[in-house]
Amino acid sequence: MSKGRSTLAVGAGERLNEHVTDDRWPSTPERHAMLGEAIDIVRTLWKGGVHSIKGQWFVVDHARLYDLPDEPIPVVVGVSGPASVALAVEKADGIMASEPKAELTSDFRARKTGPTYAEAILSYAESEQAGLDQAHETFRFSALGWAVNSELRDVDGFEAASQFVRPEDLASSVAAGPDVDTHLAMIQKYVDAGFDHVVLTCPGQQQRRFIDFFERELRPRL
């Protein structure tokens, strides 16, 4: 259906999304092990046929995928440090990250060839302050880092953890305002860190204006 354009992006999980099942929230090493086993199961099912699998974490009983991809779908694993990069090297085809950390791409590429994805936050608005305020309203959790965000259980936890984050605290991690050079500089951080696929994310309600800005000013400069 997607004609080879699909990528399966997976990560070690967020407590916010998963605590509702009422299971114990696993530790990070356990979640990495579970993710690795899950990727193995998915790849096995993509081979076709009927499979029964009893792993350390999951049991699959007589499962079969009837609509198989023409080619195996690339698997990309979210990374934030050495342990998750090691998991990606072993199990995935590429990595994705939310911070421009060169050590993530260099560690991965030292052991494997594959795509490296990252997300850059471009808060397009009529002024720099308006852009920071916009990012602060909907994206201030990004200042906490993945080690915190993955462990928070609910909205109240995010509100409590981020209550002291100020708009100006986001200035180093968010490109804010209408200046195309500001946004290019943020994208360049990820390019310099070795990422070859950069996802451009605009928080807030300026989506149509951001798309117009991208088409008119940003894209020609990339």
Residues 87-137: pLDDT tens digits? 999 999 999 999 999 999 999 999 999 999 999 999 999 999 999 999 999
Boundary of a domain, candidates 114, 143, 169: 114
The whole-angstrom separation of Cα 46 and Cα 40 is 10
Boundary of a domain, candidates 83, 114, 145: 114
Q: Are residues 15 and 30 in the same domain?
A: yes
Query: First CA to last CA across the chain, in angstroms?
Result: 30
Q: Are residues 3 and 29 in the same domain?
A: yes
Q: Are residues 134 and 99 in the same domain?
A: no
pLDDT in the model for residue 1: 64
Number of domains in the chain: 2
Residue 136 is part of which domain span?
A: 119-222
Q: Are residues 87 and 169 in the same domain?
A: no
Q: Are residues 152 and 54 in the same domain?
A: no
The whole-angstrom separation of Cα 145 and Cα 11 is 15
Q: Are residues 11 and 38 in the same domain?
A: yes
Residue type, 184: L
Kindly state the helix (H) or strand (E) to which residue 121 belongs, with its residue range.
strand 116-123
> At 29, is the secondary structure helix, strand, or coil?
helix
Task: Return the CATH number at 14.
Answer: 3.20.20.30
The whole-angstrom separation of Cα 128 and Cα 11 is 32
Q: Are residues 42 and 106 in the same domain?
A: yes
Global pTM reads: 0.89
Consecutive 10-residue runs of the chain (222 residues): their mean pLDDT? 83 88 88 97 95 96 92 94 97 96 97 96 97 94 86 90 94 96 98 97 93 97 94
Q: Are residues 99 and 20 in the same domain?
A: yes
Q: What is the DSSP track for 50-61?
A: -EEEE-SS-EEE
The whole-angstrom separation of Cα 75 and Cα 216 is 33
The whole-angstrom separation of Cα 128 and Cα 142 is 18
Boundary of a domain, candidates 66, 84, 114: 114
Q: Are residues 55 and 153 in the same domain?
A: no
Q: Which pair of structure tokens corresponds to residue 117?
A: 């994805």
The whole-angstrom separation of Cα 54 and Cα 194 is 38
